[in-house]
Amino acid sequence: MKIFIAGASGAIGSRLVPLLVAAGHDVTGTSRTDTGARRIEAAGGHGVTMDGRDSASIRRAVLEALPDVVVHELTSLSAGFDFKRFDEVFAATNDMRTRGTDALIAAAQEAGTERILVQSYTGWPNARTGGPVKTEEDPLDPDPAPAVRRTLAAIAHTERATVDAGGLALRYGNLYGPGQALGEGGQMLDVVRKRQFPIVGRGTGIWSFCHVEDAASATAAAVSHGAPGLYNIVDDEPAPVSEWLPVLAQAVGAKRPMHVPGWVARTMVGEFGVAWMTTARGSSNAKAKAALEWSPRYASWRDGFRTGLGVVTAAAA
């Protein structure tokens, strides 16, 4: 098939291009820069430059490619990570999740594209009531912290627009691996090493993880499998912060994380940070595994943290 990947030089897109080329597909991938487009060419695709926040640029790129499948992997996360300024940090990505998604869907429909896959996210957007693990049938949080309201609205828009257009919204879990915030050289891993990522309260917030390579392989599977709808792309083991954070610290040679009460943490990470660490709900991958005929290589973050972060500790060197 002819496959168009918007954001093909990013974390997932750059891994997706060689997977699809190896499967025999004709892949066109976009980047904001000529350098990124050349990397796509080197991976076996056709690299084009495109502004993911400009509707005319999106339309022109899609209509020139006339793809059978459009894959939306556009993000802009270079500003780092800040619990208190979450919406501000994600402003550009949220624009791509709203106006960018609408432009891609419109262009795909105009081009006669048969299938649309769009990146979304699962984890803290889940409603923080009921059981610890949510499926795609469960609602999003009806009362998010003020710091993430615009981001949650953008995620909801992405999913609604995609499903209404007959597409698949792939809800990636918390990504980790080389080149990620939770990977060697990443901001989150650096914070863990400095013991600046504490267990808040009892650490009862449930997180679902996904190795970046598994996110790419699930997306490749969704090119030809699965009915329109929502899909949680996560590993098999949702887990509370109190369980996974010490394992992560050990994996990177750091001391055990500190414990701080919620009222202290609120001054450090705000209401949203405390909520994510104490009341978040995890996500089930049962639907994705069955419908997409996919299984994660790293079925658990336990193995992933030990071998999939791209970290070389002093003990292993």
pLDDT of 76: 87
What mean pLDDT is reported for the chain? 95
Let me know: does 102 contact 254? Beta carbons within 8 Å: no
User: Looking at per-residue confidence, does 315 or 186 come out higher?
Assistant: 186
Q: Does some domain include residue 317? A: no
- Percentage of the residues of the chain whose pLDDT score is greater than 70: 97
Q: Locate 307 and state its tokens.
A: 């071998």
Whether the per-residue pLDDT at 81 is higher than 80: the answer is no
Q: What is the mean pLDDT of residues 242-254?
A: 97
Whether the per-residue pLDDT at 221 is higher than 80: the answer is yes
Q: What is the mean pLDDT of residues 276-280?
A: 98
- Amino acid identity, position 278: T
pLDDT of 101: 98
Q: What is the CATH number of the domain that holds 61?
A: 3.40.50.720
Cα 71 to Cα 265: distance, rounded to the nearest angstrom: 38
pLDDT of 78: 66
Let me know: does 206 contact 239? Beta carbons within 8 Å: yes
Whether the per-residue pLDDT at 311 is higher than 70: the answer is yes
Q: What is the mean pLDDT of residues 108-118?
A: 98
Tell me 126's DSSP state: B
Secondary structure of residue 78 in the 3-state scheme: coil
Cα 289 to Cα 307: distance, rounded to the nearest angstrom: 23
Whether the per-residue pLDDT at 316 is higher than 80: the answer is no
Q: Does some domain include residue 179? A: yes
Q: Does some domain include residue 315? A: no
**DSSP-derived secondary structure for 195-209:** T-SPEETT---EE-E
Let me know: does 244 contact 282? Beta carbons within 8 Å: no
Whether the per-residue pLDDT at 314 is higher than 50: the answer is no
Range of 215's domain? 2-307
Cα 9 to Cα 12: distance, rounded to the nearest angstrom: 8
Cα 63 to Cα 110: distance, rounded to the nearest angstrom: 8
pLDDT of 191: 92
Largest CA distance in the chain: 56
Q: Does some domain include residue 294? A: yes
Q: Does some domain include residue 275? A: yes
Tell me 210's DSSP state: E
Q: Does some domain include residue 101? A: yes
Tell me 148's DSSP state: G
Phi first, then psi, for residue 55 (nearest 5°) are -60, -40
Cα 22 to Cα 7: distance, rounded to the nearest angstrom: 19
Residue 281: CB atoms within 10 A of its CB come to 24
Whether the per-residue pLDDT at 312 is higher than 80: the answer is no
Strand 133-134 and strand 115-121: the pairing is unpaired
Q: Identify the weakest region by mean pLDDT among 62-66, 181-185, 251-255.
A: 181-185
User: Looking at per-residue confidence, does 170 or 181 come out higher?
Assistant: 170
pLDDT of 317: 36
Whether the per-residue pLDDT at 213 is higher than 50: the answer is yes
Q: Identify the weakest region by mean pLDDT among 74-83, 124-133, 155-164, 221-230.
A: 74-83
Q: What is the mean pLDDT of residues 137-152?
A: 97
How many distinct structural domains can be found in the chain?
1
pLDDT of 208: 98
Cβ-proximal residues to 264 (8 Å cutoff; 6+ apart), any chain:
none
User: Looking at per-residue confidence, does 40 or 180 come out higher?
Assistant: 40
Whether the per-residue pLDDT at 289 is higher than 90: the answer is yes
pLDDT digits (tens, 9 = 90+) for 44-55: 999 999 999 999
pLDDT of 79: 55
Q: Does some domain include residue 314? A: no
Cα 4 to Cα 69: distance, rounded to the nearest angstrom: 6
Q: Does some domain include residue 312? A: no
Let me know: does 81 contact 93? Beta carbons within 8 Å: no
